[in-house]
Chain A
Amino acid sequence: MTEPLLKVNNLKKYFPIRKGILGKEQGNVKAVDDVSFYVYEGETLGIVGESGCGKSTTGRMIMKLLDPTEGSIEFEGKDLTKLSNAEMRKARREIQMVFQDPFASLNPRHTIGKILEEPLIVHGLGNAKERKKKVLELLEIVGLSSYHANRYPHQFSGGQRQRIGIARALMTNPKLIIADEPVSALDVSIQAQVLNLMQDLQKDLKLTYIFIAHDLGVVRHISDRVGVMYLGKMVELAESEKLYANPLHPYAKGLLSAVPVPDPDFKREHVLLSGDIPSPSNPPKGCTFHTRCPFKMEQCTAVVPILIEVEEGHSVACHLYDEGYVNDK
Chain B
Amino acid sequence: MERKELLQVKGLETTFFTEDGAIPAVDNIDFSLREGEILGIVGESGCGKSVTSLSIMGLVPSPPGKVTNGEILLEGTDLAKFSDKEMRKIRGKEVAMIFQEPMTSLNPLFTIGNQLTEAILIHNKKWSKKKAEERAIEMMKLVGLPRSEELLKEYPHQLSGGMRQRVMIAMALVCDPKILIADEPTTALDVTIQAQILQLMRDLNKRLNTAVMLITHDLGVVAETCERVVVMYSGQIVEEGPVDLIFKDPQHPYTKGLIQSVPDMRFKKDRLYSIRGNVPKPGSIKQGCRFAARCEWAHERCLQENPTLYQTGEHHKTRCFLVSGKEAHIDDRAIVESK
Contacts and interface: CB of A to CB of B under 8 A. Distances in A.
A291 B222 CA distance: 30
Nearest to A193: B274
A266 B218 CA distance: 16
B75 interface: no
A187 B279 contact: yes
Contacts of B257: 189
Interface string B74-114: 00000000000000000000000000000000000000000
Contacts of B155: none
B247 A262 contact: yes
B238 to A, nearest CB: 13
Contacts of B194: 258, 260
A51 B187 CA distance: 13
Contacts of A221: 263, 268-269, 272
A258 B217 CA distance: 17
Nearest to B278: A157
A255 B192 contact: yes
Interface stretch (B167-175, B195-203, B327-335): B195-203
B194, B243, B248, B265 interface centre (most CB from chain A within 10 Å)? B265
Contact of B190 (A188, A189, A214, A220): A214
Contacts of B196: 272-274
B41 to A, nearest CB: 15
Contacts of B219: 188, 262
B134 interface: no
Interface residues of A, number: 44
Contact of A262 (B198, B264, B278): B264
A258 B45 CA distance: 24
A220 B221 CA distance: 18
Contact of B266 (A159, A261, A273): A261
A189 B193 CA distance: 25
Contacts of A264: 223-224, 243-244, 247-248
A277 B190 contact: yes
Given A258-B192, A262-B223, A272-B195, A190 B279 contact: yes
Interface of B: 44-45, 160, 162-163, 190-196, 198-199, 217-225, 243-244, 247-248, 257-259, 261-266, 268-269, 271-276, 278-279, 294
22 contacts: A50-B190, A188-B44, A188-B261, A189-B44, A189-B275, A189-B294, A190-B44, A192-B261, A199-B271, A214-B191, A221-B269, A221-B272, A241-B268, A256-B265, A260-B224, A262-B247, A262-B262, A263-B223, A264-B243, A265-B244, A266-B223, A273-B192
